[in-house]
């Protein structure tokens, strides 16, 4: 069967575009969540949409699992191959097809890297707003598939708010357009459904994104605090005052130190936490906002407020934040990044609980957050070579996600469920809700060949998992509705 599959695929995409040797397959065995690995039968490097349609027709006919892959920077195991299936790489789809300056849109192939779009239109004073920290590497197709966020999403929205149209190839090999070149489209909002669907509903083969004008002026404040509660308070004060910063990010002491060690930025290494608050707009607007934010931070008890003096210093302040993951990677052999989202007002409370969980499990946790929208990224430090350590990390991670659910939040704000958070989906959703997700999946992919086994757990799995776990009503804050 394997030989038949490979030969058939070679006929569709030519021999050189089907990888099948072990050494060729290894680079495709996982994404940035390296704890989960597997080798597929083959990796197919398609070059045209027609080829993808043919590949899908073939795989549909023979019920062969297909895992689509962008740059493989995902953090939830979304591209983990199926051993009895193929990986479909979109890497060769790396062209910007057209930029429409009048309508401020760019039509691009899915393998185009996030940063390339902004680079291509920079001279026209435009940019693509969602900016995941991985933007140098990750692809726009992967961004759509994960509904990726970034520092600027607080003000400018997530991927779903910045994409107008997507073309997909369905499991049956049909090419379908979702959304439109206008601001909306007739019928159901299937564009929203495909966004964040993690490769489960269709292969994204073309994306039209919105472009925004580069603001006239951008400034960043670095604000130092001696307590997490005060930092959380400052965040709440800024937002409730009606100021929506372009970015509002928080780093805790361990992350500050790691970033400082790595890049020598001039971060205050004794601070309990820092906030980076970016404000953009016209010069007058930004000046007014800087004054207001500074005042609010002082009221909240900030120790020091520093305005980046020029563009170089602004970039430097951000460099530490954007490199937080690799910086933490330097101080520990391995780290495990979580992605829960909570309401802003629970920031301090949840952080304190994470602290005590960290003590209980004897595992260090470094924290960075998209504080403005309540998206936490606790990073649990560990050593994968120590037997049993990863299991403890997973358990601690699970506890942190339960905490997020308990305060009315969610288990994933932007990294997706993948294979990693399947169990936690059982905590966040009822069986009726999970069944509804499965029904929606079948609407797009009746035979379940796209990324099978991911994102939505089977009820059977939840029943087994439930047996080992506390139920909703025993979680802390039983008084807080789960909705």
Partner 1 sequence: MLNLDNSKQLALIVNDAIKNKQPLKIFGGNSKSFYGPKSKGEPVCVAEHCGVINYQPEELVLTVRAGTTLSEIESILAEQNQKLIFEPPHFGAKATIGGAISSDINGPSSPWFGSVRDAVLGVKIINGQGEILHFGGEVMKNVAGYDVSRLMVGSMGTLGLLLEISLRILPLEKKTITFLLETTEEEAIQRCSQLNRQHLPLSAMVYYNNLLYIRLSGNIASVNSAYKTLGGELLTDNNFWYSIREHTHPFFYQTGTLWRISVPPATPPINDLDGHWLIDWGGAQRWFISDMAAEVVYAKVADVHGHATIYRNIDSIGDVFHPLTTSQRHLHKMVKQAFDPHRIFNPGRLYADL
Ligand X SMILES: Cc1cc2nc3c(=O)[nH]c(=O)nc-3n(C[C@H](O)[C@H](O)[C@H](O)COP(=O)(O)OP(=O)(O)OC[C@H]3O[C@@H](n4cnc5c(N)ncnc54)[C@H](O)[C@@H]3O)c2cc1C
Nearer to partner 1, 318 or 429 (CB): 429
Q: Is 123 in the site for partner 1 (CB under 8 A)?
A: no
Are the beta carbons of 466 and 212 closer than 8 angstroms? no
- C-alpha Rg value of the chain to the nearest Å: 23
Q: Is 280 in the site for partner 1 (CB under 8 A)?
A: yes
* Number of residues assigned to the chain: 483
| CA–CA gap between residue 397 and residue 379 (Å, rounded) | 9
Site string for partner 1, 9-48 (x = CB under 8 A): ----------------------------------------
Query: In DSSP terms, which residues pair with 213 in a beta bridge?
Result: 126
In the complex, the smallest distance separating the C-beta of residue 451 from partner 1, rounded to whole angstroms, is 13
* Total chain residues near partner 1 (CB under 8 A): 102
Of 14-22, 250-258, 282-290, 303-311, the window that binds partner 1 (rule: CB under 8 A) is 282-290
Nearer to ligand X, 145 or 286 (CB): 145
Q: Is 413 in the site for partner 1 (CB under 8 A)?
A: yes
Nearer to ligand X, 90 or 120 (CB): 90
Q: Which of residues 352-371 bind partner 1 (CB under 8 A)?
A: 370
For 102, left (φ over 0), alpha (ψ -120 to 50), or beta? alpha
The option from ligand X, partner 1, none interacting with 8 (CB < 5 to 8 A, set by class) reads: none
Tokens in use for 19?
């990888």
Are the beta carbons of 319 and 265 closer than 8 angstroms? yes
Q: Is 420 in the site for partner 1 (CB under 8 A)?
A: no
In the complex, the smallest distance separating the C-beta of residue 272 from partner 1, rounded to whole angstroms, is 22
The option from partner 1, ligand X, none interacting with 475 (CB < 5 to 8 A, set by class) reads: none
Q: Which of 10, 94, 161, 272 binds partner 1 (CB under 8 A)?
A: 161
Q: What is the DSSP letter of 16?
A: G
In the complex, the smallest distance separating the C-beta of residue 41 from ligand X, rounded to whole angstroms, is 16
Which chain residues interact with ligand X by CB under 6 A? 31-32, 67-75, 78-79, 90, 110, 132-134, 138-139, 141-143, 145-146, 148-150, 198-199, 203-204, 325, 414-415, 451
| CA–CA gap between residue 374 and residue 394 (Å, rounded) | 22
Q: Which of residues 187-216 bind partner 1 (CB under 8 A)?
A: 187-190, 192-193, 195-197, 200-201, 212-216
Are the beta carbons of 175 and 167 closer than 8 angstroms? yes
| CA–CA gap between residue 166 and residue 392 (Å, rounded) | 40
Are the beta carbons of 454 and 198 closer than 8 angstroms? yes
| CA–CA gap between residue 358 and residue 381 (Å, rounded) | 10
Q: Is 417 in the site for partner 1 (CB under 8 A)?
A: yes
Q: Is 143 in the site for partner 1 (CB under 8 A)?
A: no
State which H helix or E strand residue 169 sits in: strand 163-169
The 3-state DSSP class for residue 335 equals: strand
How far, rounded to the nearest angstrom, does the alpha carbon of residue 47 sit from its chain's CA centroid?
26
Nearer to partner 1, 48 or 180 (CB): 180
Q: Which of 333, 442, 458, 476 binds partner 1 (CB under 8 A)?
A: 442
The option from partner 1, ligand X, none interacting with 189 (CB < 5 to 8 A, set by class) reads: partner 1
| CA–CA gap between residue 250 and residue 128 (Å, rounded) | 23
């Amino acid at each position: 069967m394997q030989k038949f599959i490979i030969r058939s695929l070679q006929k569709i995409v030519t021999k050189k575009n089907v990888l099948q040797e072990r050494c060729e397959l290894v680079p495709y065995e996982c994404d940035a969540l390296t704890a989960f690995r597997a080798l597929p039968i083959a990796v197919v490097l398609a070059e045209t949409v027609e080829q993808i349609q043919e590949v899908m027709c073939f795989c549909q006919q023979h019920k062969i699992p297909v895992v689509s892959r962008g740059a493989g920077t995902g953090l939830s195991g979304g591209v983990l191959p199926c051993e009895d299936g193929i990986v479909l790489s979109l890497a060769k789809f790396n062209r910007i097809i057209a930029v429409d300056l009048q309508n401020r849109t760019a039509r691009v192939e899915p393998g185009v890297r996030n940063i390339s779009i902004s680079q291509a239109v920079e001279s026209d004073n435009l940019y693509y707003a969602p900016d995941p920290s991985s933007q140098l590497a990750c692809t726009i197709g992967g961004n759509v598939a994960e509904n990726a966020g970034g520092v600027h999403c607080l003000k400018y929205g997530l991927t779903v708010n910045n994409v107008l149209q997507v073309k997909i190839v369905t499991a049956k090999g049909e090419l379908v357009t979702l959304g439109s070149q206008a601001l909306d489209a007739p019928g159901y909002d299937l564009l929203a459904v495909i966004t964040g669907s993690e490769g489960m509903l269709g292969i994204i083969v073309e994306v039209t994104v919105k472009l925004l004008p580069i603001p006239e002026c951008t400034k960043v404040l670095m604000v130092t605090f001696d307590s997490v509660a005060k930092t959380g308070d400052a965040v709440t004060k800024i937002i409730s005052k009606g100021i929506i910063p372009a970015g509002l990010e928080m780093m805790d002491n361990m992350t500050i130190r790691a970033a400082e060690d790595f890049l020598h930025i001039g971060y205050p290494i004794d601070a309990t936490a820092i906030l980076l608050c970016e404000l953009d707009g016209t010069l007058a607007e930004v000046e007014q906002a800087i004054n207001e934010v500074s005042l609010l931070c002082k009221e909240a008890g900030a120790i020091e407020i520093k305005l980046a003096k020029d563009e170089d210093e602004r970039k430097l302040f951000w460099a530490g934040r954007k490199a937080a993951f690799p910086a933490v990677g330097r101080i520990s052999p391995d780290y495990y990044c979580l992605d829960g989202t909570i309401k802003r007002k629970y920031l301090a409370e949840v952080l304190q609980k994470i602290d005590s969980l960290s003590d209980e499990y004897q595992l260090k946790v470094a924290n960075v957050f998209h504080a403005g929208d309540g998206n936490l990224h606790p990073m649990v430090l560990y050593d994968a070579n120590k037997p049993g350590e990863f299991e403890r990390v997973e358990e601690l991670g699970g506890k942190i996600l339960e905490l997020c659910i308990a305060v009315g939040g969610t288990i994933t704000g932007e990294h997706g469920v993948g294979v990693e958070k399947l169990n936690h989906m059982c905590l966040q959703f009822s069986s009726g809700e999970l069944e509804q997700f499965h029904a929606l999946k079948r609407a797009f992919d009746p035979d379940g060949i796209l990324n099978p086994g991911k994102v939505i757990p089977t009820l059977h799995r939840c029943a087994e998992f439930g047996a080992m776990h506390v139920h909703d009503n025993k979680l802390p804050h039983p008084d807080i509705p789960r909705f």
